[in-house]
C-alpha cells in the first residue's frame, strides 16, 4: 500500500503538478500568516473585515487558503497590522511573496 508521502514524492516528479503544488503552498503560507497576525492582534475575522471593508466570509476564505486577488489580501493584511512585500524572482519568472 502506497503512503501519502510516497504518493506525494512520486507526484512531485511531474513538472506541472509540482508547479501547482508550489503555488498552493505559497498561498497557504500567506493564509496562515494572516491568520496568525489576526490572532496576535486579538482581532476576529469580523473585526478584520470591518477594518478592511471586506465581508467576514472573504476573510474566512483567505484564511482557508482559497484563492483571492492581491488587493483583497492586502486589505486584510493591512487591517491585521502588517504589510506584504513583493519582489520578482528571476529563477522562476514568477513573483515571490
Cα 30 to Cα 50: distance, rounded to the nearest angstrom: 20
Q: Assign residue 71 the CATH number of its domain.
A: 1.10.260.40
What's residue 44's pLDDT?
96
Are the C-beta atoms of 64 and 70 separated by less than 8 Å?
Answer: no
Range of the domain at 79: 4-96
pLDDT in tens, 27-82: 888 899 999 999 999 999 999 999 999 999 999 999 998 878 889 999 999 999 88
Domain count, the chain: 1
The answer to whether the CB of 96 falls within 8 A of the CB of 87 is yes
- Beta strands, E only, the chain: 87-89, 94-96
Amino acid at each position: 500500500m502506497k503512503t501519502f508521502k510516497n504518493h506525494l514524492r512520486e507526484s512531485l516528479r511531474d513538472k506541472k503538478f509540482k508547479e501547482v503544488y508550489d503555488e498552493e503552498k505559497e498561498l497557504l503560507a500567506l493564509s496562515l500568516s494572516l491568520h496568525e497576525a489576526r490572532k496576535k492582534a486579538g482581532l476576529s475575522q469580523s473585526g478584520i473585515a470591518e477594518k478592511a471593508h471586506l465581508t467576514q466570509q472573504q476573510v474566512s476564505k483567505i484564511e482557508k487558503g482559497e484563492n483571492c486577488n492581491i488587493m483583497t489580501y492586502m486589505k486584510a493584511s493591512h487591517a491585521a497590522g502588517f504589510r506584504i512585500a513583493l519582489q520578482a524572482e528571476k529563477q522562476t519568472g514568477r513573483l515571490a511573496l
